[in-house]
Amino acid sequence: QQQVKQSPQSLIVQKGGIPIINCAYENTAFDYFPWYQQFPGKGPALLIAIRPDVSEKKEGRFTISFNKSAKQFSLHIMDSQPGDSATYFCAARKPARQLTFGSGTQLTVLP
């Protein structure tokens, strides 16, 4: 019940494409769902986060779609660039608790 399942494991898109990364959870006590971007040898950097009272949130080229009934959420990257090539982690958190991370998606954006 604590798991967050993330797919795909890896993703390759052309520059300008829209990669979509999906996550699913079981525990309905989760109330905060962030996405982190991680470059090799660096710490996870917070990209965008959503709470379950909204179905979509957009910040720049990054959009989270949230489906509360299906217990799924996804990250869309508009107009992807080679500099977006990184590992992306979804996560979930119960109130005042630690983050539970997905397994990560390695994104490669080809020039």
Partner 1 sequence: EPEVTQTPSHQVTQMGQEVILRCVPISNHLYFYWYRQILGQKVEFLVSFYNNEISEKSEIFDDQFSVERPDGSNFTLKIRSTKLEDSAMYFCASRSGTSGSDQYFGPGTRLLVL
Question: Least Å distance between CB 33 and partner 1?
Answer: 11
Q: How far apart are CA 66 and CA 53, in angstroms?
A: 9
Whichever of 41 and 111 has its CB closer to partner 1, that residue is 41
Whichever of 50 and 109 has its CB closer to partner 1, that residue is 50
Whichever of 13 and 99 has its CB closer to partner 1, that residue is 99
Residue of 96, 105, 103, 104 lying closest to 32 (CA atoms): 96
> Residue 90: beta bridge partners?
35
The angle formed by the CA atoms of residues 47, 52 and 58, to the nearest 5 degrees, is 40
Question: Least Å distance between CB 101 and partner 1?
Answer: 5
Instruction: Point out which residues bind partner 1 (CB under 8 A).
Output: 31-32, 34, 36, 41-46, 49, 51, 89, 91, 93, 95-104
